[in-house]
Amino acid sequence: MDFRFDIVTDYMPFFLRGMGITIGVSLAGVLMGLILGLIIALGKMSSNKWIRLPFNIYINIFRGTPLLVQLLIIHFGIVPMFMSPSNPLVSLVIGLSLNSAAYIAEIFRAGIQSIDKGQMEAARSLGMTRVQAMKLVILPQAVKRVIPPLGNEFIVLLKESSLGSVVAAPELMYWGQAAAGEYIRVWEPYIAVAFIYLILTLSLTYLMNYVERRLSTDDQR
């Protein structure tokens, strides 16, 4: 088998641009997923079952259906209701955010509920409101426990951003397919793309390990 490096070098500018977009949409997805996820997690922990219900439904729908299906519905169904023509990057970011929010919510919920019940009681007994107790006592402790599973989720999200190629969002995988189509070659474009994804996920793993270490030495526990 001959490996034509010239295909890889020819397409490198596009791969790099795609990588930039992959990083961009992943960051945006993570950021919005974190914010939405926290809201959903807190909603799902409400003591009122009618408040819990919609958050439960949300999590079940977004965890229970494939991201690919969600992405197609969002891109061809929902986004066109607000903008015309539909924008693949917007659709991809929305899809990744909404999907990861469901997983992140469950990560947050597990993290928050893993904090000893006595912490909330102590905070409340001092006159703190539920919100103050969450903000000052529970969440700062929960953050450390959710870092490892969150890192996992970020890696999944980064890889799943490759589904953007099906709605022609010009991220990394899109350019891989473009190269494969142009040269009618399989190995060079896909190996190059896989290699770039690997670099990204390994960097992310390294980064998350660093954050985890920093947080565990920041204070004594």
Partner 1 sequence: MINVKNLKKSFGDNEVLKDISVDVAPQEVVVVIGPSGSGKSTLIRCINMLESINGGHVMIDGRDLTDKKTNINEVRTDVGMVFQHFNLFPHKTILENITLAPINVRGMKKAEAEEKASVLLAKVGLAEKASAYPESLSGGQKQRVAIARALAMEPKIMLFDEPTSALDPEMVGEVLEVMKQLARDGMTMIVVTHEMGFAREVGDRVIFMDNGYIVEQNEPKSLFDAPQHERTKAFLSKVL
Return the residue matching tokens 């539920």: 130
Q: Which is nearer to partner 1, 52 or 185 (CB)?
A: 52
* Nearest in space to 98 (alpha carbons), one of 162, 35, 49: 35
Residue 17 binds partner 1 (CB under 8 A): no
At 119, list the tokens: 């912490």
Which residue of 119, 152, 177, 201 would you call a contact of partner 1, by CB under 8 A? 119
Residue 118 binds partner 1 (CB under 8 A): yes
Per DSSP, helices labelled H in 161-186 are 172-183
Which residue of 46, 60, 65, 129 would you call a contact of partner 1, by CB under 8 A? 129
Per-residue x/- marks for partner 1, 87-116, CB under 8 A?
A: -----------------------------x
Residue 214 binds partner 1 (CB under 8 A): no
Give the Cβ contact number of residue 39 at 10 Å.
Answer: 14
CB of 146 to partner 1, least distance (A): 14
What is the rounded CA–CA span in Å between residue 7 and residue 4? 6
Residue 219 binds partner 1 (CB under 8 A): yes
- The answer to whether the CB of 26 falls within 8 A of the CB of 158 is yes
The whole-angstrom distance between residue 103's C-alpha and the CA centroid of its chain comes to 9
Q: Which is nearer to partner 1, 129 or 203 (CB)?
A: 129
CB of 38 to partner 1, least distance (A): 18
CB of 200 to partner 1, least distance (A): 32
Q: Which is nearer to partner 1, 60 or 125 (CB)?
A: 125
Q: Write the DSSP symbol of residue 45.
A: T
Helix (H, G, I), strand (E, B) or coil at 170: coil
* Nearest in space to 115 (alpha carbons), one of 146, 157, 81, 152: 146
Tell me which stretch binds partner 1 (CB under 8 A): 12-20, 36-44, 53-61, 123-131.
123-131
Tell me which stretch binds partner 1 (CB under 8 A): 50-58, 62-70, 129-137, 168-176.
129-137
- The answer to whether the CB of 29 falls within 8 A of the CB of 93 is yes
At 183, list the tokens: 């040269």
Binding site for partner 1 (CB under 8 A): 116, 118-119, 121-129, 132, 136-137, 140-141, 219-221
